[in-house]
Amino acid sequence: MTDFPQRARVALRDTQLRRNLAHATDTIREKRTRAVMEVPDWEELRAAGAALKDEALASLDEQLLRLEERVRERGGTVHWARDAEEANRIVGDLVEATGAREVVKVKSLTTDEIKLNDALAARGIDAIETDLAELIVQLAGDAPSHILVPAIHKNRDQIRELFERSLGTGPLADDPEALTEAARVYLRERFLRARVGISGANFAVAETGTVCVVESEGNGRMCTTLPPTLITILGIEKVVPRLADLGVFLTLLPRSSTAERMNPYTSLWTGVHDGDGPQEFHLILLDNGRTNALADDVGRQTLRCIRCSACLNVCPVYSRTGGHAYGSVYPGPIGAILTPLLVGIERASSLPYASSLCGACADVCPVRIDIPRVLVHLRGVAVGSKPHTPEAVSMRLAARAFGDRRRFERLQRLALRARKLPGVASLPGPLREWARFRELPEAPDATFRDWWRNR
User: Which DSSP symbol is given to 4?
Assistant: H
Residue 422, pLDDT above cutoff 60: no
Tell me the DSSP string of 246-269: HHHHHHHHHHHHT--SS-SEEEEE
- Chain centroid to CA 18: 20
> Which of the residue ranges 8-12, 255-259, 288-292 has the most confident prediction, judged by mean pLDDT?
288-292
24 phi, psi to nearest 5 deg: -70, -45
Closest to 183 in 3D by CA, of 200, 205, 207, 167: 167
Q: What is the pLDDT of residue 419?
A: 65
CA distance 167 to 87: 31
Q: What's the rounded mean pLDDT across residues 227-244?
A: 98
Residue 123, pLDDT above cutoff 70: yes
Q: What's the rounded mean pLDDT across residues 213-242?
A: 96
Q: What is the pLDDT of residue 440?
A: 64
pLDDT over 70, % of the chain: 95
The 10s digit of each residue's pLDDT in 145-175 is 888 888 888 888 898 989 888 887 888 887 8
277: left (phi over 0), alpha (psi -120 to 50) or beta: left
Whether the Cβ atoms of residue 204 and residue 212 lie closer than 8 Å to each other: yes
**In sequence order, what are the beta bridge partners of 212?**
203, 268
Q: What's the rounded mean pLDDT across residues 315-335?
A: 94
Whether the Cβ atoms of residue 218 and residue 75 lie closer than 8 Å to each other: no
Residue 418, pLDDT above cutoff 80: no
CA distance 186 to 163: 10
Closest to 149 in 3D by CA, of 381, 307, 321: 307
> Is pLDDT larger for residue 441 or for residue 409?
409
**Kind and range of the H or E run holding 334:** helix 332-343
Q: What is the pLDDT of residue 425?
A: 52
Q: What is the pLDDT of residue 429?
A: 65
Q: What is the pLDDT of residue 344?
A: 95
CATH superfamily assigned to domain 39-144+194-288: NagB/RpiA/CoA transferase-like (3.40.50.10420)
Distance between the two ends of the chain, CA-based, in angstroms?
A: 59
Residue 6, pLDDT above cutoff 70: yes
Q: Give the angle 248-336-26 at the CA atoms, nearest 5°.
A: 65
Q: What is the pLDDT of residue 430?
A: 64
3-state secondary structure of 331: coil
Q: What is the pLDDT of residue 51?
A: 98
For the chain, the domains span: 1-26+313-386, 39-144+194-288, 390-454
Q: What is the pLDDT of residue 416?
A: 76
Q: What is the pLDDT of residue 169?
A: 81
Q: What's the rounded mean pLDDT across residues 213-241?
A: 96
> Is pLDDT larger for residue 183 or for residue 60?
60
Residue 1, pLDDT above cutoff 70: no
Instruction: Note the helical H segments in 344-422.
Output: 360-364, 371-384, 390-402, 405-419
> Is pLDDT larger for residue 296 or for residue 395?
296
Mean pLDDT, all residues of the chain: 91
Tell me the DSSP string of 74-106: TT-EEEEESSHHHHHHHHHHHHHHHT-SEEEE-
CA distance 227 to 195: 5
Q: How far is CA 233 from CA 143, 263, 337, 422, 424, in A?
A: 20, 21, 22, 67, 62
CB-neighbour burial class of residue 232 (10 A; exposed 0-12, middle 13-18, buried 19+): buried
User: Which DSSP symbol is given to 273?
Assistant: B
Residue 105, pLDDT above cutoff 80: yes
